[in-house]
Amino acid sequence: MYQEVQQFKADFFKALAHPLRIRILEILSEGSKTVNEIQAILGTEGSAVSQQLAVLRSKNVVIGVKDGTSVIYSLRDPLIKELLQVAKQIFDNHLISAISLLENMKNQ
């Protein structure tokens, strides 16, 4: 069971391991969107967005619901929004530490 959980975590984080996929998840954290809406927000080609959504969908990170000719995407689990917020806090903590280290080096 423990190995299954580790494998799930590894696969999950692999699905997140692309800046465009992270940005798509940040957008979907604000609410469900179609590919065209995501593309407009990102200012990128639809094929790039569709490709990254396919990866996220295959790893069960997002879900797509058909609505006429469009597919509306949303986060499969709302905790993903919290995960992204925690990752941002960790980044901020690292940045603060780096700035502090540089200031200490400058003052020596």
pLDDT digits (tens, 9 = 90+) for 29-82: 999 999 999 999 999 876 899 999 999 999 999 999 999 999 999 999 999 999
Considering its fold, how many domains does the chain have in total?
Answer: 1
Q: For residues 94 and 22, which has the higher predicted lDDT (pLDDT)?
A: 22
Predicted local distance difference test score (pLDDT) of residue 92: 85
Token digits for 29? 């954290």
- Is 98 a residue whose pLDDT tops 80? no
Predicted local distance difference test score (pLDDT) of residue 29: 97
| CA-atom Rg of the chain in angstroms | 17
pLDDT (mean) for 17-21: 95
CB 25 within 8 A of CB 16: yes
- Kindly report the number of other CB atoms within 10 A of residue 15's CB atom: 19
- Decide if 44 is inside a domain: yes
- Decide if 81 is inside a domain: no
- Is 105 a residue whose pLDDT tops 90? no
Which helix (H) or strand (E) element contains residue 75?
Answer: strand 70-75
For residues 18-49, b (16+ Cβ closer than 10 Å) or e, as one string? eeebebbbebbbeeebbbebbbeebeeeeeeb
- Decide if 98 is inside a domain: no
**CATH of residue 16:** 1.10.10.10
Domain extent, residue 38, equals 2-76
pLDDT digits (tens, 9 = 90+) for 51-65: 999 999 999 999 999
- Decide if 107 is inside a domain: no
Average pLDDT, the chain: 91
Nearest alpha-carbon partner for 27 in 87, 61, 74, 70? 74
